[in-house]
Structure 1
Amino acid sequence: MSRHKATSVRPRYGRISVLGASLAVTAVAVLGGTGALPAALSGSGGPSAAIVQDKQADQQPAAAEVAADRASAAEPTPQAEPVAPVVVDPAADTTLPADSGSGRRIVFSESRQRVWLVEEGEQVRRTYPVSGSLSDNLDPGTYDVYSRSEDAVGIDDSGTMKYFVRFTRGDTGAAIGFHDIPVDEGKQVQTVAQLGTPQSHGCVRQRRADAIALWEFAPLGTTVVVTA
């Protein structure tokens, strides 16, 4: 009787591993197709669809934002309106002229047709528009009140005036001073509204109330400063 030699059987681990791996892949595919596993684990070979969509949403602005940006770009930038220069009427400037002396005095500006009654300490008691000479017969400088008449008559019977305060003389020797608006044949020779512009033949015309104020302010010897 012949004898057979028993042959030892070795488990084939390589085949078992391959078989296990195949089963695992098949299981994952089945579960992924049914939705039992997240798409990120479905073995698609790349990032899940949800992650890709999130990144696209971050990179692409919303339609409303794009429309707003386009509208802003289309709208022209508003331009600042030019500011018109401020024009100051010299007659309306009430600032005491520079270089007009010091101390208690009367100041008359020919260019601004205005008078200031100035107390000690540079305090302006009163300022108002006047009408000086049309012929520019008065030189800038410092003078003193030398004569006063509450009532006076103009040269060549050109009218009557009140509160005449004289401080110098013109080229013809006629007195130059401050008084109210002359009256000729019962009518003022100019209107109060014309004060602030040259109107006289040599003197400085004032509204009646201002003429009274200067009369009371200026006794003999009061300083009068005339500026250009």
Structure 2
Amino acid sequence: MSKHRAQHRAPRRKGRIAAVVLALGLTAGAGSAAAMGVIPQLQTPEPATASDALAPAAIETASLEKLEIPKPKVTPAAQTVEAAPDAATLPAGSGTGYRIVFDQSDQRVWLVESDGSVERTYLVSGSKFNNLQPGSYQVQSKSRTANAFDGSGTMEYFVRFATGFSEPIGFHSVPKDHSGQLEQTKEQLGTRLSAGCVRQWLPDAIALWDFAPIGTRVVVTA
């Protein structure tokens, strides 16, 4: 090879080497740029926006255990309570000591012990007529059974203590007619229904019969 030909090949070879180096440089630069574009996305996430806080996932995982629902306050309605009358309170002027008290206005009887305590009190049905005056009486006689003065029926545990217009007046059970039917109901006690005597429900009539021997004082109040 001549010296002249060798001088012409050397520049051409250097040009090829420069082109290869330049191509490698551009490829490396492109790879570095691509790498620089990926790394920031992994290390520096975009800041959350306000709408992200209300995402469905956040709502579904929210804890509701600490929520306290106040209970409504219930104020009871004001009630007016009337004091019930004391049935054990004896009427004024009914005396002292061991006695039977019959109050005509209340249609009630009291069986009173010697110390003033009330053994029993209950409603009765007295006379529809004005044939028994207030005052002090005493038990005159007792009959286990008796007939009505007009022959309309019978009664039990008759305890006589006064005389009306012409017939005796006493305490006894509610009369029965000749068919055995009571002449009034228990619910009607407390109202005036008799012709002169004092009608009692049977257990009360028995209690007074046992309580009142002959001579027991009976006080009748208006």
User: Normalization by structure 1: what TM-score?
Assistant: 0.60
Query: 1:85/1:126 Cα in 2 relative to 1: closer, same or farther (>3 Å)?
Result: closer
Aligned equivalent of 1:214, options 193, 201, 208? 208
| Secondary structure at 2:158 match in 1 | strand
AA aligned opposite 2:197: C
Structure 2 residue ranges without an equivalent (≥5): 1-77
Which of 101, 118, 141 in structure 2 is aligned with 1:107?
Answer: 101
Residue aligning to 1:159 = 153
Shift of 1:93: 3.9
Q: Which deviations, in whole Å up to 9, do the C-alpha atoms of 1:152-187 show, x marking residues without a partner?
A: 00012121000000001001x200000000000210
Identity in percent: 57
1:125 aligned residue:
119
Q: Which residue of 2 aligns with 1:169?
A: 163
Q: One-letter code of the match for 1:103?
A: G
**Segments of 4+ in structure 1 off by > 2 A?**
83-89
**2:176 is the counterpart of 1:183:** yes
Taking structure 2 as the reference length, what is the TM-score of the superposition? 0.61
Tell me by how many angstroms 1:88 deviates: 6.5
Equivalenced residue count is: 144
Indicate how the Cα distance of structure 1 residues 123 and 85 shifts in structure 2: closer, same or farther if over 3 A, else same: closer
Partner Cα separation in structure 2 for residue 221 and residue 164 of structure 1: 15
Aligned to 1:38: none
CA–CA distance in structure 2, aligned partners of residues 113 and 137 of structure 1: 15
Equivalent residues in 2 for 1:1-228, closer than 5 Å: 86=82, 93-171=87-165, 173-184=166-177, 185-228=179-222
Q: Which amino acid aligns with 2:199?
A: R
The equivalent of 1:63 in structure 2 is none
Q: Deviation string for 1:81-103 (max 9, x for gaps)?
A: 9x9795967xx744111210111
Distance 1:156 1:183, change over 3 A: same
- Distance (whole Å) between structure 2 residues aligned to residue 157 and residue 94 of structure 1: 36
Task: Give, in whole Å, the separation in 1 of the partners of 2:147 and 2:83.
Answer: 40
> What amino acid is the match of 1:153?
N
CA RMSD of superposed structures (Å):
1.8
Structure 1: runs of 5 or more not aligned: 1-80
**Partner AA of 2:103 in structure 1:** S
Tell whether the 8 Å contact from 2:87 to 2:121 is kept in structure 1 after alignment. no
1:137 is displaced (CA, Å) by 1.2
Other structure's SS at 1:157 match: coil
Amino acid at match of 2:210: E
Counterpart Cα distance in 1 of 2:184 and 2:88 = 23
Q: Distance in 2 between matches of 1:136 and 1:107?
A: 18
Corresponding residue for 2:70? Answer: none
Q: Distance in 2 between matches of 1:177 and 1:192?
A: 19
- 1:133–1:88 distance in 2 versus 1, CA, 3 Å: farther
> Residue type matched to 1:138 in 2?
L
Query: In structure 2, what is the Cα distance between the partners aligned to 1:94 and 1:110?
Result: 16
Whether the 8 Å contact between 2:129 and 2:195 is mirrored in structure 1 is yes
